[in-house]
Amino acid sequence: VLQSLFRFPDLSRADLARLTELTPATISQLVGELIDEGLVEAAGRGPAKVGKPPTPLRLVSDSRHLVCVDLSDTDAFRAAVVDMAGKVVHRESVDRGDATGEHAVELVGGLIQATLAATTKPVLGIGLGTPGVVDAAGTVVEAVYLDWFDVPLRQLMARRFDLPVHVCNDANTAVLAEYSFGEETGTNLMVIKVGPGIGAGLLVDGRPHLGENFSAGEIGHIIVDEDGPPCRCGKRGCLESFIAVPELRSALAHAADPQQVRAEAGQSLGVVLAAAVSILDIHEIVLAGPSDLLDEAFREAALETIRARTLASLSRSDAVRIRHSTLGDDIVLLGAGVLVLSQELGVA
Ligand SMILES: [Zn+2]
């Protein structure tokens, strides 16, 4: 019932019964409970042709607050108080400096404490999007640039704040944000998160796809050019060595033709995406990252490369779509909110 109201506002009890295939009596009881909890409200009477008009119902989106944390930025950890409709009501951030390891964990704890202090409604939970590989228990298995290895982030924060805590890889939270709060999407979607590293978040048949070792979408070290620039992993020509933010900025700073550098970066992404599109049959790709780097030249070069390297039916002009996210810098933050919503209320 909540999921229906999250997706479609102003449904009547009869609409809900139809959508959920529950009996009208069950719907009435459930709606009554949700109204008592303050999660749902009647939104005034709708028009009626005959008899008693139906009462449109809607989610009270500011009845609960979500504490959302984005650890994907290189310079600062960012957090926000967000309502259930994805509206940011308060922001906090803390400079990371070069904090890593336990020091970085301490910064995250302090940031959450400050953000919680700004909530004015019951807090549904705390969501964190972090770089690196995160397992089902919310342990950061590996986040190299934070020097985190097997850090039980969810457990540490849940113990400290006595609230539900959910932790996910930043690209995976980004795909949740795009699905719930972005432009209208289908149920198959790939978000390419370009930051200090490159990650892809995957939504396959309407479900987040995390993979056997929670490493699905770790595309940064796929080699696209064996003679390419050296990568910090020790190999040459990895995708990251072309399009990770520090590498791309540095290449642009030394380039005679910046447009050419952006186009080559887009091509390198296209090479990787051609394989992903063909394997998964996902045709909607969303770019999330600095807009000055992921510009039109970058996007077009990626799209052209996919078309040139895939089956003709995939390369039709309308078959594959690459677009920029409309959620801007908040994509990981909002995704951390959807993570809480989906785990605590079953809505997304
Ligand atoms: Zn590499």
d(CA 199, CA 188): 17
Q: How far is the CA of 135 from the centre of ligand 1 (A)?
A: 22
**Beta strands per DSSP E along the chain:** 40-42, 57-59, 65-70, 76-83, 88-95, 123-130, 133-134, 140-143, 148-151, 165-169, 189-194, 198-204, 207-208, 284-288, 321-324
The closest alpha carbon to 218, from 202, 235, 237, 234, belongs to 202
**Residue 175 C-alpha to ligand 1 middle, in angstroms?**
23
Tell me the C-alpha distance between 23 and 79, whole Å: 41
Measured in angstroms, how far is the CA atom of residue 50 from the centroid of ligand 1? 67
Closest CA relative to residue 302, chosen from 225, 255, 243: 243
Q: Which residues surround ligand 1, an ion (CB under 5 A)?
A: 221, 231, 233, 235, 238
pLDDT one digit per residue (tens) for the chain, 348 residues: 999 999 998 999 999 999 999 999 999 999 999 999 999 999 876 566 666 678 899 999 999 999 999 999 888 999 999 999 999 999 999 999 999 999 999 999 999 999 999 999 999 999 999 999 999 999 999 998 899 999 999 999 999 999 999 999 999 999 999 999 998 778 899 999 998 889 999 999 988 999 988 889 999 999 999 999 898 889 999 999 999 999 999 999 999 999 999 999 999 999 999 999 989 988 899 999 998 999 999 999 999 999 999 887 766 667 889 999 999 999 999 999 999 999 999 998
Instruction: Give the up-direction half-sphere exposure of residue 17: CA atoms within 13 A in the CB hemisphere.
Output: 11
Checking 219-224 for CB contacts under 8 A at 24+ apart, the result is: 219/192, 219/272, 219/276, 220/244, 222/272, 224/268, 224/271, 224/272
**C-alpha 170 – ligand 1 centre gap (Å):** 19
Strand partners, 57: 11, 42
In this structure, what DSSP letter does residue 41 have?
E
202 forms bridges with which residues in the sheet?
Answer: 190
For ligand 1, the distance from its centroid to the CA atom of residue 219, given in whole angstroms, is 10
